Amino acid sequence: MLMSKIRAAVFGRETSLSCLLLGALTASTLSAHATPEPKVDERPNILVILADDLGYSDIASYGSEISTPNLDQLAHSGLRFSNYHTSASCAPTRAMLLSGVDSHRAGVANISEALTPAQAHSPFYRGTLNHNVVTIATLLRDAGYNTSMAGKWHLGYEDPSLLPINRGFEQTLTMPFSGGDNWTQQAYVPHYEKTLWFENGEEITIPDDFYSSKFIVDKTIAQLENNRLDQRKKNQPFFSYVSFQAVHIPVQAPKAFTEKYVGTYKDGWDALRLARQQAVKDLGLLPAEAPMKRMPTTASWEALSEEEQRYNDKRMAVYAGMVDAMDHHIGRLIQYLKATNQHDNTVIIFTSDNGAEASDPKDMSAFTPLMYKMLGYNDDYDTLGERYSYNTIGINFASAAASPLGHYKFHSGEGGMRVPLIISGPQLADTLQGKISHSKAFVKDLAPTILALANTPHPGTQYQGRAIEPNTGKNLLPVITAHSDTVYSDDDVIAYEIGGNAALIKGDFKIALNRGGANDNRWHLYNITQDPGETRPLETIEPFVFSDLLSEYEKYARENGVIQVPQDYQQSTQISRNGAKAKVKNLINHPITLLMIAVLTIVTVRRRLMTRRPMKK
């Protein structure tokens, strides 16, 4: 019948009986010799969406005033974790997420931009993902998954073997640095000459209509569509890693998104922090009686002039617009999955790499604003957040973005380490949809959880004949499937160190060490179940607990090669120092500079030859 319809369409008339018989025979013959349709792999697709520097209460389902309907829908159909921790900086978190190995042992104890000279000689402090770990992308690819990534990488690129195209991802769009401009390829810090982008390992030029969140989702959809249309791949599940630049500095957003929030923050950071504290508690994410600490770094909003308040209101409006725009483009990706009938079999994991970024160039050095002007940026009010604009939210609004937690990015306070985690998909128990899990979870746990979802074992300490680090995270699948409330016992520890700031969690308790600025450079003990804001130090009240956790941390530091930083070390200062060195190096290596040096050398040599030439008598 199918062949007769085809013939009728071709010749414009009904076929005769003989043609019908011929068509039936032809169809039968083709069927006998056709390649059998590959069996559909029914394992779930896995989509990991990673925001950058997103604070604990920065999306609506975690207490924010920012409109994030697509992420809210994920939360409504998924499970939110209230007690999920990461490293307090981007590259270490990314290394652990993709490997399940502690960031030190994976070679990414800190971002490369912040390493001291002493640390840079250690294999634990390369700032790039060592080859002693195997990524989950590699294992999933080996197990029959189509693997792809789009967005920020920050785990190494100068050696091509470090790029994601050589770390298990079959299709890649890569921005390799700590951050990049969201509108152009200009450098956002002096460490780089420009913001690089690679596609499948080859450097590319971004399009004229580039905006980072849109571009990353465009490429993700293209990657998934390539799989869907490829006859060899269309029946295989996919693993897609989508890594946004939002809301890393420079904080930038399309004007239409920013304008929605202008005036929202006119009452200042304290008002915002209080409003979010109440919203977080109303949602049931944190205990209703939990106190909130006002960070000593927080300035007085009332002391600002009317013009300063207006400017700061817009700084935060751009930030909100950037979150809103990210959510909008996540919605486009989800709609694509629904339109292609892939959504119902896709596990979606959304989280952030660390808490909100508090750095402000104006606070770093008197020369820093000049440096940013040299990079081609302005901070004008009218175009704030748009093309060629450099915007941040600073330390005051960063504290509000973490509300009601203390501290922010780089620090070991809860505001630096505790971030949203949403898991949605077919493996989630129906009874958990829209609910909140108070189970502890750590970024290292995502790797074994993803492998368990894909029914793919980790090889342990050997992969293809070479020694690798074992996966040391915990599989959260029992929590997701409602077989257990938690996979952590009271004796399990979560430990962390970056730039001299450190923490260890065991049971309900946490010890934390924060250095520099308004911090006292001392260990403190908190009960973060009752006091997630870390307002009541308990080291003198619970000395045995304090001693036990300190011993656990010392063991962790020994086993993971922690190198102490100098007494005066500050992460932002070290980044600026390394950036200045990089800028000088870039200037020296610039073709114009090299040409000037060559000309000066020739002139100098000629002058010396002339002075040495004997005078004629």
How do beta strands 79-85 and 435-442 pair?
parallel
Tally the residues of the chain: 617
Return the ∠ at Cα 347 (arms to 344 and 348), rounded to 5°. 110
Active site residue 483: no
Q: Do residues 21 and 302 lie in contact, with contact meaning Cβ atoms separated by under 8 Å? A: no
SS3 112: helix
DSSP secondary structure letter of residue 424: E
Gap between the terminal Cα atoms of the chain:
111
Distance CA 183, CA 538 (A): 47
Q: Exposed (0-12), middle (13-18) or buried (19+): which is 12, by Cβ within 10 Å?
A: exposed
The CA-atom distances, in angstroms, between 592 and each of 187, 371, 586 are 19, 20, 11
Q: Do residues 397 and 53 lie in contact, with contact meaning Cβ atoms separated by under 8 Å? A: no
Distance CA 361, CA 364 (A): 5
Distance CA 276, CA 137 (A): 37
Active site residue 19: no
Selected catalytic residue, list 154, 191, 411, 524: 154
187: Cβ–Cβ under 8 A, 6 or more apart, which residues?
A: 180, 181, 193, 194, 195, 375
CA-derived radius of gyration, the chain: 27
DSSP-H helix ranges across 495-590: 543-559, 571-589
488: Cβ–Cβ under 8 A, 6 or more apart, which residues?
A: 439, 440, 474
Q: Do residues 124 and 102 lie in contact, with contact meaning Cβ atoms separated by under 8 Å? A: no
Residue 92 CA to chain centroid, in angstroms? Answer: 10
User: Dihedral (C-alpha) 174, 180, 185, 189: value to the nearest 10 degrees?
Assistant: -130
Distance CA 513, CA 539 (A): 12
Strand order in the sheet with 435-442: 202-203, 198-199, 171-175, 146-152, 238-243, 45-51, 346-352, 421-424, 79-85, 435-442
Consecutive H or E run containing 119: none
Distance CA 378, CA 391 (A): 9
Q: Do residues 191 and 179 lie in contact, with contact meaning Cβ atoms separated by under 8 Å? A: no
Amino acid making up residue 568: D
Q: Is the torsion defined by CA of 531, 537, 541, 546 positive or negative?
A: positive
The CA-atom distances, in angstroms, between 114 and each of 179, 319, 365, 500 are 14, 25, 16, 11
Residue 289 CA to chain centroid, in angstroms? Answer: 32
Selected catalytic residue, list 19, 33, 85, 90: 90
The CA-atom distances, in angstroms, between 50 and each of 58, 90, 166, 229, 441 are 14, 10, 20, 26, 16
Helices then strands, each counted (H, E), the chain: 18, 16
Distance CA 185, CA 203 (A): 12
Residues taking part in catalysis: 90, 154
